[in-house]
């Protein structure tokens, strides 16, 4: 099985604080991998380093055959067309309608006619599980779950090979969260997508993820299928998997300090 | 058999076979669409889609096939699939399933008349909001009279500092330079008649009556009016206004009144400061170009500039201030929850306040013809 993403020996220092101290893991083609860890362990930061938004102190990120941090700027732009990102808050353009949001990357990176782009936009909106009528709405008029779906539609616009998702189910009610999980799994399986997501949602872990990577104290302390990782005898992992009620659905407050810090 | 690049349409014993040959992915979508469009479709008969010779297929490419076949009268479930691998079959199942529901009718594009009507009714819809804010501000002010301790002193002084103190350098520079330019131009004309001393009359009247209050109003509208709208608008976007309200505080008391009073206090002071700097600029030019010493200049000014004119000029400032603060706060609260709206409303604040300032200025001139 070919490797789509390989992170090796990542070290990160932010605001004088050591966040990652030699983080490494791989994601194979077609896999859905979850990155877990306490709030403030640097999951979001690691994701941003994988997609070329934040340069790590040292270490390697190989994504879709390219070394992200050795690419010239136009090489990075070309690479960015091959993966999609779902930011934690959706990051939809608030002054554009849903359809215009999905159209934005198509308009920028393809030379399709408006009519053809409209057809592609309609398809992506449907693939993301939104009713076609949602196309004309502004992000402010959408519920949390619909916002995530609209952002997903935009992330799918350029037929990406890989998806990065930062806490896709945070802020959703359990029913919408499970529906979103199912949608994501279906899309990954049917479109042949590889996905790396961060999450605090135990149901996501048990329900749809192939593999879990646990970040703790600046290192990867466990990497494997959920059932195996949950059995590991480590203090943090044990409390994480037993803290069902406390952990379920909590949003990730950046550095709010309720998690264990390394 | 007909062949057209990325696909081939063959007649078979039972019906038709559409063989996909090329790379059916987003990058080639335009070319694929053109190839499909330039092709005559068979009238009827069962269709078989053959993917054994495919190079690549993604959801956009599949959508194109699906939509073009549907337009040609071939509904999807009737299509027989052959030669696709398991990945492609999964993709086909998902995409055709999602595309099964009919496309929504695109929203009608509005004509000129409809847009005009929308603009007019939009402008009319502003009115209730403005009246409501006016009422809330009046209520807040009355509440303040009854209970002065509720006033946000700290916020008031913060605003006073940024509206007043912060504007001093730019007010000084602008009014001084306008004084210089005005005296210089007037001086050239006056010199021809040997009436040098009258420069004092002209300059001091113009600056005290019109130039200084107007210039200060323009500056404050651009600096502080825009800032008020952007601050309140950004707080609206991040739901801070709602947070203030749910904490049992009044956004009017916390945000509007301190700003309103700060600007009302600051603008007359700035106008007076502008009077001084403008006259100083004019006196400098008079001394260097027209041989009028500073002493002569200011002695003459005491005789020809009545106190009434100065107070008339300064009395405009609070009226300008109220208009600017009201327009700025109204636009701030009218921001809807998106980023563009903040920009639009900030622009509207500056443009509307300038119009209001000019109108008020004209009103003052009409009501005080004697001066
Ligand atoms: N740009 C930045 N500059 C400085 N510190 C940052 C920056 N981004 C994140 N941090 C800090 O890094 C830590 C990890 O953040 P984050 O990756 O968001 O954690 P999480 O695992 O909860 O997603 C936090 O303490 C955060 O405050
Ligand atoms: Mg995070």
How buried is B286 (Cβ within 10 angstroms: 0-12 exposed, 13-18 middle, 19+ buried)? buried
> Which of the ligands is closest to the CA of residue A12?
1
Asked whether the beta carbons of A177 and A170 are under 8 A apart, the reply is no
Same domain, A91 and A129: yes
Residues A88 and A150 reside in one and the same domain: yes
What is the pLDDT of chain B when averaged over all its residues?
Answer: 88
Instruction: Kindly state whether residues A108 and A49 are assigned to the same domain.
Output: no
CATH, range B2-99: 3.30.750.24
**Residue A178 covered by a domain:** no
Asked if the model's pLDDT at residue B350 lies above 60, the reply is: yes
pTM: 0.69
Provide mean pLDDT across the span B55-83: 84
The pLDDT value recorded for residue B352 is 94
Percent of chain A with pLDDT over 90: 26
- Break chain B down into helix, strand, coil percent, rounded to 5: 75, 5, 20
Per-residue confidence at A187, pLDDT binned at 50, 70, 90?
confident
Is A24 a residue whose pLDDT tops 70? yes
Residue A253 predicted with pLDDT over 60: no
In a domain, A206, yes or no: yes
Average pLDDT over residues B281-304: 91
Residue A253 lies in a domain: no
Residues A106 and A126 reside in one and the same domain: yes
Per-residue pLDDT band at B135 (split at 50, 70, 90): very high
- Please check whether residue A32 lies inside any domain of the structure: yes
Indicate whether B226 pLDDT > 50.
yes
Per-residue pLDDT, B2 = 45
Nearest to A204 by CA among A33, A55, A30, A86: A33
Q: How far is the CA of A19 from the centre of ligand 1 (A)?
A: 8
| CA-nearest residue, atom 8 of ligand 1 | A45
Determine contact, residues A23/A262, Cβ cutoff 8 Å: no
Predicted confidence (pLDDT) at residue B57 exceeds the cutoff of 90? no
| pLDDT of amino acid A258 | 42
Domain boundaries, chain B: 2-99, 113-367
Count of domains forming chain A: 2
pLDDT at B105: 66
Residues A189 and A223 in one domain: yes
Q: Read off the pLDDT of residues A108-142 as tens digits, 9 standing for 90 and up.
A: 888 888 888 998 999 999 888 888 888 888 888 88
Q: Report yes or no on A73 lying in a domain.
A: yes
Say whether both A59 and A100 belong to one domain: no
Greater confidence, B82 or B339? B82
Looking at the structure, tell me whether residues A75 and A205 fall in a common domain: yes
DSSP secondary structure string for all residues of A26-45: EEETT-EEEEE--TTSSHHH
The confidence band for A254, taking pLDDT boundaries of 50, 70 and 90, is: very low
Contact between B107 and A136 using a beta-carbon 8 Å cutoff: yes
How does residue A238 score in pLDDT terms, banded at 50, 70 and 90? confident
A111 and A240 part of one domain: no
Q: Are A54 and A11 in contact (CB under 8 A)?
A: no
Candidates A23, A44, A167: which one to mutate for ligand 1, based on the most atoms within 8 Å of Cβ?
Answer: A44
Cβ-based contacts of B104 with chain A (< 8 Å):
132-133, 135
Q: Which of A143, A144, A126 is nearest to A135 (CA)?
A: A126
Task: For chain A, positions 118-137, list CB contacts with chain B under 8 A.
Answer: 118-120, 122-124, 126-127, 132-133, 135-136
User: Are A131 and A203 part of one and the same domain?
Assistant: no
Contacts of A138 in chain B (CB under 8 A): 338
Look at residue A245 in the predicted model and tell me its pLDDT: 44
Domain of residue A120, residue span? 83-159
Residues of B in contact with A139 (CB under 8 A): 338
Q: If you average pLDDT over each of B111-120, B126-135, B205-214, which comes out highest?
A: B205-214
Q: Is the pLDDT of residue A251 over 80?
A: no
**Contact by Cβ (8 Å): A202, A244:** yes
The model's pLDDT over B236-288, given as tens digits with 9 standing for 90+, comes to 888 888 888 888 788 898 899 999 999 999 999 999 999 999 999 999 999 99
Pocket test for ligand 1, best of A255, A256, A257 (most atoms within 8 A of CB): A255
Would residue A44 count as lying in a domain?
yes
User: Which is more confident, B220 or B83?
Assistant: B220
Give the tens place of pLDDT for each residue, A95-107. 788 999 999 888 8
Residues A150 and A216 in one domain: no
């Amino acid at each position: 099985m070919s490797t789509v993403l390989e992170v090796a020996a990542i070290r990160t220092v932010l605001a004088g604080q050591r966040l990652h101290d030699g983080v490494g893991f791989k994601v194979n083609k077609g896999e859905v991998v979850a990155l877990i860890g306490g709030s403030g362990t640097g999951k979001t930061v690691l994701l941003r380093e994988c997609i070329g938004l934040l340069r790590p102190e040292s270490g390697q990120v190989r994504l879709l055959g390219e070394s992200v941090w050795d690419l010239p700027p136009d090489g990075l732009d070309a690479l960015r067309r091959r993966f999609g990102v779902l930011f934690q808050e959706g990051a939809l353009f608030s002054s554009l309608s849903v359809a215009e949001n999905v159209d934005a990357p198509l308009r920028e990176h393809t030379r399709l006619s408006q009519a053809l782009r409209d057809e592609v936009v309609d398809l992506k909106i449907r693939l993301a599980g939104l009713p076609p009528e949602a196309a004309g709405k502004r992000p402010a008029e959408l519920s949390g779950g619909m916002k995530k779906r609209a952002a997903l539609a935009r992330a799918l616009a350029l037929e990406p090979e890989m998806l990065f998702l930062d806490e896709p189910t945070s802020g959703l009610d359990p029913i919408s969260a499970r529906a979103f999980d199912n949608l994501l799994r279906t899309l990954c399986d049917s479109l042949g997508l590889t996905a790396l997501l961060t999450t605090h949602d135990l149901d996501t872990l048990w329900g749809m993820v192939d593999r879990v990577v646990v970040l703790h104290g600046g290192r990867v302390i466990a990497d494997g299928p959920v059932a195996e990782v949950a059995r590991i005898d480590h203090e943090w992992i044990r409390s994480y998997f037993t803290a069902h009620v406390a952990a379920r659905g909590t949003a990730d407050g950046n550095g709010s300090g309720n998690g264990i810090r390394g | 058999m007909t062949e057209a690049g990325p696909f081939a349409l063959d007649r078979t014993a039972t019906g038709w076979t559409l063989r996909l040959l090329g790379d059916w992915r987003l990058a080639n979508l335009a070319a694929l669409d053109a190839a499909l469009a330039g092709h005559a479709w068979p009238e009827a008969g069962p269709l078989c889609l053959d993917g054994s010779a495919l190079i690549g297929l993604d959801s956009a490419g599949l959508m194109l096939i699906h939509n073009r076949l549907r337009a040609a009268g071939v509904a999807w479930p009737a299509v027989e699939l052959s030669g696709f691998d398991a990945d492609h079959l999964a993709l086909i199942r998902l995409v055709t399933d999602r595309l099964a529901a009919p496309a929504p009718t695109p929203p009608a594009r509005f004509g000129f008349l409809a847009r005009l009507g929308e603009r007019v009714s939009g402008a009319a819809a502003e009115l209730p909001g403005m009246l409501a804010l006016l009422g809330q501000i009046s209520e807040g002010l009355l509440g303040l009279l009854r209970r002065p301790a509720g006033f946000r002193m700290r916020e008031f002084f913060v605003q006073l500092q940024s509206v007043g103190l912060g504007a001093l350098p730019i007010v000084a520079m602008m009014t001084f330079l306008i004084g210089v330019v005005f005296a210089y131009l007037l001086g050239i004309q006056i010199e021809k008649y040997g009436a040098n001393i009258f420069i004092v009359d002209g300059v001091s009247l113009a600056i005290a009556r019109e130039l200084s209050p107007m210039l200060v109003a323009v500056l404050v509208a651009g600096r502080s009016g825009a800032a008020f709208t952007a601050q309140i608008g950004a707080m609206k976007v991040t739901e801070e206004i709602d947070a203030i309200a749910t904490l049992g505080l009044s956004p009017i008391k916390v945000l509007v009144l301190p700003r309103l009073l700060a600007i009302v206090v600051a603008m007359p002071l700035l106008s007076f400061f502008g009077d001084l700097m403008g006259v100083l600029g004019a006196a400098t030019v008079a001394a260097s170009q027209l041989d009028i010493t500073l002493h002569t200049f200011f002695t003459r000014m005491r005789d020809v500039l009545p106190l009434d004119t100065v107070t008339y000029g300064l009395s405009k400032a609070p009226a300008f201030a109220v208009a600017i603060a009201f327009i700025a706060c109204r636009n701030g609260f009218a921001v809807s929850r998106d980023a563009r709206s903040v920009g639009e409303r900030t622009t509207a604040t500056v443009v509307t306040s300038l119009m209001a300032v000019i109108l008020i200025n004209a009103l003052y001139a009409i009501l005080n013809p004697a001066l």
